[in-house]
Copies of this chain bind each other. A is one copy, B any other.
């Protein structure tokens, strides 16, 4: 195995995630496999991409967790997305000239790189696979919209619960969750930056969730104790993740 292992893990997870939405024929799977050129490792805290850069590759996550974020001039930070195994973190960088945000590793991370020429080749040769990759960026946008709704119009409690629900379902889609738990190896401060609240209030709110006995979060693992309860607090409806197998 050696060098081929991260390739396999990441690409098969991507294929698995896409296959939930439509069948991927073997030639398209192979096109994906041969578009990846190499893997790269990052330590926790490293930036994979910095704002305003013009990357020439897009990165698929093979292990670990990353965040996309923006820094505001006063030093505040807003995380706009979390990504895990099988997520194409900056696929949009293929068509956007310069990235409007940075991406940093929340844990140790391994990614697989896809040169933009290889992606362009896919768009020239494989229309259906192109639609599936396009879909993958549309799902990211749908998640952005859910975050907007949560941050704009719901309480800290709801936002927190909603995010846990989303991460639980997404981890499950790539085989990283058990029936009632999933890895969530970040700090309360990072979570605060994603939810648009202060770290202190994240702590307060977590205690309330713990007191209500709907979930626990220790040692980087979230355990769901009462799934309907969390969903209801978070007003979570997984429809936006569009997990439906059909021709696209």
Let me know if B153 and A100 touch, CB within 8 A.
no
Q: For the complex, is A19 an interface residue (Cβ under 8 Å from B)?
A: no
| A73-B96 Cα distance, complex, nearest whole Å | 36
**Which residues in chain A, 89-145, are within 8 Å of chain B measured between CB atoms?**
92, 95-98, 100-101, 120, 123-124, 127, 130-131, 134-135, 137-142, 144-145
What's the nearest-Cβ distance from chain B to residue A91, in Å?
9
Q: For the complex, is A186 an interface residue (Cβ under 8 Å from B)?
A: no
Let me know if B78 and A148 touch, CB within 8 A.
yes
In the complex, chain B residues whose CB is within 8 Å of the CB of A226: none
The interface on chain A, measured as residues whose beta carbon lies within 8 A of the other chain's beta carbons, has a size of 49
Name the residue of chain B whose CB is nearest to the CB of A150.
Answer: B78
Q: A-side binding surface: helix, strand, loop or mixed?
A: helix
In the complex, chain B residues whose CB is within 8 Å of the CB of A138: 92, 95-96, 137
What's the nearest-Cβ distance from chain B to residue A153, in Å?
4
In the complex, chain B residues whose CB is within 8 Å of the CB of A80: 145, 148-149
Q: A137-B134, A141-B137 are in contact. Are A149 and B242 (CB under 8 A)?
A: no
